[in-house]
Structure 1
């Protein structure tokens, strides 16, 4: 086992750019025991996709995490874990199969397409608010507001409540994605999560009495035989949708603009054919520097991979960012190529846990990037570096200062 590279995944330079580190790990120690995190890190495309298919890599990691806590810690964190245990992403079959069948009824292709018109309007409204400002924070002023408004509208949240959602969404990120400084922020974050769950519970009760067209109504109506979702299951997965609907799309937009500005020849190529290149460009962003850095699993039984013995109960990080730049799968993997074909990335996962909201994120990301780059042909870095968020599982920026230049009317 290699000892050349240290185990600090969130070292500051690796937060800013994790790809050189992941490349070395993929080459030198693709199935690596990380002593700092007491977990396996798996880096090669074939191994990651195999793990995502393999039932021995269990997604049901909430109860094992709860069991490892002291009695006092368990009592303190039980309310959070009660919600997380009902998330689709933390369930294995057959529970996962049942939940996904019901929840997916709210994410049919027809449903997602019905959100296109409003997503277009939200993007245009956000661009109008940018106006002729020269310097803006792309995250705060553009990438975050768009999915925040869209997901709130899809959920039937009144406009005057939407500002509160950012705080609640940030609370979920602290509890789930492992932000640095976690211990100091956990209690405040849990309080925010409880407020969110209470609010969503009231929304579910309201929509049981008042029929409207939104995702809550779809989840209430979802039925498989005689089986329906409980209010607790609906609330828990609305929390998941809120977080995924905000953070994933925000990071897709921010990371995408960053990749384009760092590769101006690709941006120029895109400007010549936005209609034909928006779709493959979004897929390349998801491969090259996507919102999801890695996924976590628990080993359900002793097994071997590349000569390493993974024991029951071990944690395993499946590093999508490393897999998506594996030269065994992608030609010139460190090259950002918006015409890449084929592009079988795993930016939204793989197998039974493939991201249920992928179509919505692609829809919002495509519209936002196409409109932004068309409206501001002179967009450029403004000399300040982006501020990347130091989280294990996600890849995104807290701030991204850019110069817009003159708006095209």
Structure 2
């Protein structure tokens, strides 16, 4: 973990390096990368500090608590729509839509149709998958994503304007209040870019965390029985252990600002370094029996939410969200029957996110 904290490494440069590899880049690629370049994750101080400080003030405990009654009703409605006895896809029916619905309402974007919100989130995820693994972005994917970005920016800017005169009890109103502060250095467009980043991570990470958690329970009956008998105690421990054992984010990248010698290897200036969080979370020198899924006792915490100035902004929100969803989902429930191959689940092909894509179950 020395690399994570090193001042010799930066999260930046990736966007510009990609653009330099492209001869005559398509306008849609430039438009998308202009948005990505303002994301906190791709910035260092002082820009990162500016964005982080501005966004931090709405991610407070009181705001997170407002989500709880909402989650209870959303889970109830979703479960009513499922064919519990004959089977349903947990990802399609619960994990994917409910994560988006919670984020949409928490931000105060109820005017945006849930289907459209899902389309936007998926478009960003598809582009980022291609962007991370490809030397040059796919133009067709970029053009489709650019269309979604334009729709998002228009909708968010309109919502910001409405909040200036009609604030509500939501995170967007809190951000607008910050914009109205005379000392704010953030522009409305920069706020929109951070919101797009929040949608990218704030929808997909909870979706995959829900599915991965259910899979870990179904493949570990002893953990499932512990949780069913004491949900309040073991659901928070389940979330922590899944974030260690089967986290939605398995790696992060850093880029060398200057040449580094590490463990006999030379990392040249400008080199990209992939830090494998999934491997670190199963490090034998840190975790006892790391290949064993164990929700009863873990002396060390996972590092899946990152660390330092780039620690996940919405970590507390994601954790509280998953906790409340599972408290409602498992309420009064005794047995779940998997209708998919537990030994060979449908893992995503998206290197940006690690999770199950389809997960058919029935509830008895």
Q: SS of the counterpart of 1:226? A: coil
Q: SS of the counterpart of 2:303? A: coil
1:60-209 correspondence to structure 2 within 5 Å: 60-73=12-25, 75-130=27-82, 132-158=84-110, 161-178=113-130, 183=138, 184-209=140-165
Q: List, as ranges, runs of 4+ consecutive aligned residues in structure 1 with deviation greater than 6 Å.
A: 179-182
Structure-2 residue corresponding to 1:282: 239
Q: Is the 8 A contact 1:53 1:352 kept in 2?
A: no
Structure-1 residue corresponding to 2:188: 231
> Which of residues 262, 282, 286 in structure 2 aligns to 1:329?
286
In structure 2, how many angstroms separate the alpha carbons of the residues matched to 1:374 and 1:211?
A: 35
User: What RMSD in Å do the two structures reach over aligned CA positions?
Assistant: 2.1
In structure 2, how many angstroms separate the alpha carbons of the residues matched to 1:134 and 1:350?
A: 43
In structure 2, how many angstroms separate the alpha carbons of the residues matched to 1:277 and 1:157?
A: 33
Structure 1, unmatched stretches of 5+, are 1-48
Q: Is the 8 A contact 2:15 2:36 kept in 1?
A: no
In structure 1, how many angstroms separate the alpha carbons of the residues matched to 2:309 and 2:182?
A: 21
Q: Aligned-pair distance for 1:368?
A: 1.7
Structure-1 residue corresponding to 2:3: 51
Q: Is the 8 A contact 1:379 1:404 kept in 2?
A: yes
Structure-2 residue corresponding to 1:395: 354
Q: Is the 8 A contact 2:123 2:148 kept in 1?
A: yes
1:227-306 correspondence to structure 2 within 5 Å: 227-306=184-263
Deviation digits for residues 230-252 of structure 1 (CA, Å, limit 9, x no counterpart): 11111001101112221011111
Structure-1 residue corresponding to 2:338: 381
Structure-2 residue corresponding to 1:24: none
In structure 2, how many angstroms separate the alpha carbons of the residues matched to 1:160 and 1:220?
A: 18
Q: Aligned-pair distance for 1:145?
A: 1.7
| Pairs aligned (count) | 357
Q: Is the 8 A contact 1:200 1:235 kept in 2?
A: yes
In structure 1, how many angstroms separate the alpha carbons of the residues matched to 2:204 and 2:46?
A: 28
Q: Is the 8 A contact 2:217 2:224 kept in 1?
A: yes
In structure 2, how many angstroms separate the alpha carbons of the residues matched to 1:353 and 1:277?
A: 28
Q: Is the 8 A contact 1:123 1:367 kept in 2?
A: no
In structure 1, how many angstroms separate the alpha carbons of the residues matched to 2:208 and 2:15?
A: 29
When normalised by structure 2's length, the TM-score is: 0.92
Whether 2:188 is the aligned partner of 1:220: answer no
1:30-49 correspondence to structure 2 within 5 Å: 49=1
When normalised by structure 1's length, the TM-score is: 0.82
In structure 2, how many angstroms separate the alpha carbons of the residues matched to 1:289 and 1:341?
A: 15
Q: SS of the counterpart of 1:304? A: strand
Q: Is the 8 A contact 1:138 1:400 kept in 2?
A: yes
Q: Is the 8 A contact 2:32 2:142 kept in 1?
A: no
Q: SS of the counterpart of 2:81? A: helix
Residues 365 and 255 (structure 1), Cα distance of their counterparts in 2 relative to 1, 3 Å cut: same
Q: Is the 8 A contact 1:139 1:398 kept in 2?
A: yes
Q: Aligned-pair distance for 1:258?
A: 0.5
Q: Is the 8 A contact 1:207 1:217 kept in 2?
A: yes
